Amino acid sequence: MSLEIMRDPRVRSVEWRDLVPVNRFEIFKELTLIFPWLTGSLLLANAGYYHYLPAMAMSFVFFLTGLRVSHNAQHYAMGISRKATEWVLYALSVIMPRTCTITNTV
């Protein structure tokens, strides 16, 4: 059954766009995607207990965007060199767990 769908002309006419080349703006956007959420999370967590729930929400979104960036890095689909990608993965592996800890202890 699953192979029959591949013979359908409607399915065959769909252009597949997997791992297309990225331009410099898209690389910059991908690499800086986490920073607004990280900054907001840390600033709100530092502001006191009244801002604790928004800080946790920002931490959650930061973690989700970090997962997106690390997923692209693990597949080497960010458009940067292999060594730079390894550094991005290293930085995310250091920053992501600590941000959740900082937000929860303030």
Given this model, what pLDDT does residue 74 score? 93
Rounded distance, CA 15 to CA 91, Å?
35
Given this model, what pLDDT does residue 100 score? 62
Given this model, what pLDDT does residue 103 score? 55
Residues of the chain scoring pLDDT < 50? none
Given this model, what pLDDT does residue 65 score? 96
* pTM of the model as a whole: 0.75
Estimate the crossing angle of helix 52-74 against helix 82-105, to 10 degrees.
Answer: 160
